[in-house]
């Protein structure tokens, strides 16, 4: 299960947007409405925490042996 961030889409621009998190499977479609209030929502793309590897071992040798592009 993944936690996605959503925000409400207010009918009036003077209304505040509400952000909330919702856990769902990656195979489930994105929510269209708030599950509790029925207000229209959209998924928010947020920055994540990632891990980048140099692609080598401790001796500096490359681990890539094919055309995978690493």
Contact 26, 3 (CB under 8 A): no
Residue 69 lies in a domain: no
Give the mean pLDDT of 28-43. 96
Q: Could you give the CA distance from residue 25 to residue 6 in angstroms, rounded to a whole number? A: 15
Does the pTM surpass 0.85? The reply is no
In a domain, 23, yes or no: yes
Q: Is residue 38 a part of any domain in this protein?
A: yes
Residue 46: predicted pLDDT: 85
| Residue 49 falls inside a structural domain | no
CB 35 within 8 A of CB 8: no
- Which token pair is 1? 């299960």
What's the domain count of the chain?
A: 1
| Cβ count within 10 A of residue 70 | 11
pLDDT score, position 47: 79
Instruction: Note whether residue 7 is domain-resident.
Output: yes
The conformation of residue 6, written as its DSSP 8-state character, comes to E
Distance CA 55, CA 63 (A): 6
* % of the chain at pLDDT higher than 90: 57
């Amino acid at each position: 299960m993944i936690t996605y961030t959503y925000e409400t889409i207010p009918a009036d621009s003077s209304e505040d947007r509400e952000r909330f998190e919702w856990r769902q499977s990656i195979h489930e479609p994105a929510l269209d409405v708030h599950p509790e209030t029925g207000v229209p929502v959209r998924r928010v793309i947020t920055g994540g925490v990632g891990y980048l590897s140099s692609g080598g071992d401790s001796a500096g040798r490359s681990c890539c042996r094919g055309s995978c592009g690493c």
